[in-house]
């Protein structure tokens, strides 16, 4: 699909995409500031917890895509039906097989918070399909945006293969340009025949979807507190070099032990050497020249 030929850049404050963007801003910020998400973004994610998060996503997307399939010919949702580009259930099954093995179905179960989310999605799909737009928007647009950041963090922190096993959920093979696809998706939403009242209800439902997600995050955070350190498989914690050096997990782990210091501070010290700075400057100059040539 050639996304760039189907998008109109002009939007109005009354368009559904703009109403959703503005109407869910507070919920979006709150979701990003849940402890689970903050720890995840810092690379502090236990492998067992990541597996449980993947399980929650599997049940959520199984419900969502079942209802999307049910309403694929319904004019209130059909324009947003992109199974080839967006559906995540099969990708999540690959991830679960990677983490749990071929008998993955026998080893997972739907958590309480996830079940509440799933129940709401089924209710909407079967009784108020217009509101299904809110759940699809909340999940897929997030996956194509911040989800791509989480993909890189998880791959690095959990030392997952470079071939992307375990993070297939974040891989959209049939979308060549995520930004253009998101523009197309928003244009399709704006073209839906919806009155003001229904648009407001969709925004309200999107905020409800965010709350369900936050409840799942909080549940995962509580579960993570009970996991043993042996379950931690996230590699070295992230340290930005700010504040008290003694609070750096890498440094604290080695207090009283022989061995190298914090890699961040070691790298900063090395970068201050005149010879290293000269080499770095030369590399930057070469890279800049190559970039200029490529643009021309």
pTM of the model: 0.75
The answer on whether 70 is annotated among ligand-binding residues is no
Are 132 and 65 within 8 A, CB to CB? Answer: no
> What does the pLDDT read at residue 148?
86
What's the N-to-C CA distance of the chain in angstroms? Answer: 28
In a domain, 252, yes or no: no
* Closest residue by Cα to residue 138 from 190, 203, 209: 209
Task: Flag whether 178 is in a domain.
Answer: yes
186 is known to lie in a ligand binding site:
yes
Contact yes or no for 124/67 (Cβ under 8 A) = yes
Smallest CA-to-CA distance from 72 within 81, 61, 84 is with 81
- Are 120 and 73 members of one domain? yes
Task: State whether residue 263 is helix, strand or coil.
Answer: helix
* Joined tokens for residue 257: 């032990």
Q: Say if residue 42 carries a ligand binding annotation.
A: no
How confident is residue 12, by pLDDT bands cut at 50, 70 and 90?
A: confident
> Do 155 and 64 share a structural domain?
yes
pLDDT of residue 180: 96
Tell whether the model's pLDDT for residue 160 goes beyond 70: yes
Contact status, residue 7 vs residue 180, Cβ threshold 8 Å: yes
Helix (H, G, I), strand (E, B), or coil: what is residue 3?
A: helix
Domain of 207, CATH number, reads 1.20.910.10
User: In this structure, which long-range contacts are made by residues 241-245, counting pairs with CB atoms below 8 Å and at least 24 apart in sequence?
Assistant: 241/265, 241/268
Residue 161: is its pLDDT beyond 70?
yes
pLDDT of residue 227: 84
Parent domain of 10: 3-231
Quick one: pLDDT at residue 263? 54
Query: What is the pLDDT, as a whole number, of residue 147?
Result: 86
**Measured between alpha carbons, how far is 28 from 214 in angstroms, rounded to an integer?**
10
Which runs of E-coded beta strand occur in the chain? none
pLDDT at res. 43: 92
Find tokens 């737009």 and name the residue: 133
Residue 245 lies in a domain: no
201 marked ligand binding residue: no
Q: Across the chain, how many H-helices and E-strands are there?
A: 16, 0
> How many domains does the chain contain in total?
2
User: Which DSSP letter does residue 241 get?
Assistant: S
The residue from 212, 231, 250 where one domain ends is 231
Q: Give pLDDT, residue 231.
A: 44
When pLDDT is cut at 50, 70 and 90, the band that residue 244 belongs to is very low
Q: What is the pLDDT of residues 170-183, one digit of tens each?
A: 999 999 999 999 99
CA neighbours closer than 13 Å in the CB half-sphere of residue 54 = 31
Q: Which of 216, 231, 246 is the last residue of a domain?
A: 231
């Amino acid at each position: 699909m050639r996304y760039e030929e189907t998008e109109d850049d002009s939007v109005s404050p009354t368009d559904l995409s703009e109403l959703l963007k503005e109407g869910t801003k507070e919920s979006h910020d709150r979701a990003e500031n849940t402890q689970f998400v903050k720890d995840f973004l810092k690379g502090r994610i236990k492998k067992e917890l990541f597996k449980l998060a993947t399980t929650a996503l599997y049940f959520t997307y199984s419900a969502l895509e079942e209802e999307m399939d049910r309403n694929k010919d319904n004019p209130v949702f059909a324009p947003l039906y992109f199974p080839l580009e967006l559906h995540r259930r099969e990708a999540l099954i690959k991830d679960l097989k990677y983490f749990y093995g071929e008998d993955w179905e026998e080893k997972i179960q739907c958590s309480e918070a996830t079940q509440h989310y799933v129940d709401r999605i089924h209710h909407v799909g079967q009784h108020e399909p217009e509101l299904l737009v809110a759940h699809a928007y909340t999940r897929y647009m997030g996956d194509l945006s911040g989800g791509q950041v989480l993909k890189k963090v998880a791959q690095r922190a959990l030392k997952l293969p470079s071939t992307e096993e375990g993070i297939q959920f974040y891989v959209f093979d049939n979308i060549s340009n995520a930004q253009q696809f998101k523009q197309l998706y928003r244009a399709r939403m704006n073209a839906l025949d919806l009155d003001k009242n229904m648009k407001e209800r969709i925004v309200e439902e999107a905020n409800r979807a965010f709350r369900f997600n936050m409840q799942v995050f909080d549940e995962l955070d509580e579960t993570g507190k009970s996991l043993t350190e042996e379950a931690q498989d996230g590699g070295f914690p992230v340290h930005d070099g700010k504040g008290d050096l003694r609070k750096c997990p890498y440094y604290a782990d080695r207090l009283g032990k022989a061995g190298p210091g914090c890699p961040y501070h070691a790298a900063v010290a090395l970068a201050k050497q005149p010879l290293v700075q000269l080499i770095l400057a030369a590399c930057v100059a070469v890279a800049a020249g190559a970039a200029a040539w490529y643009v021309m």
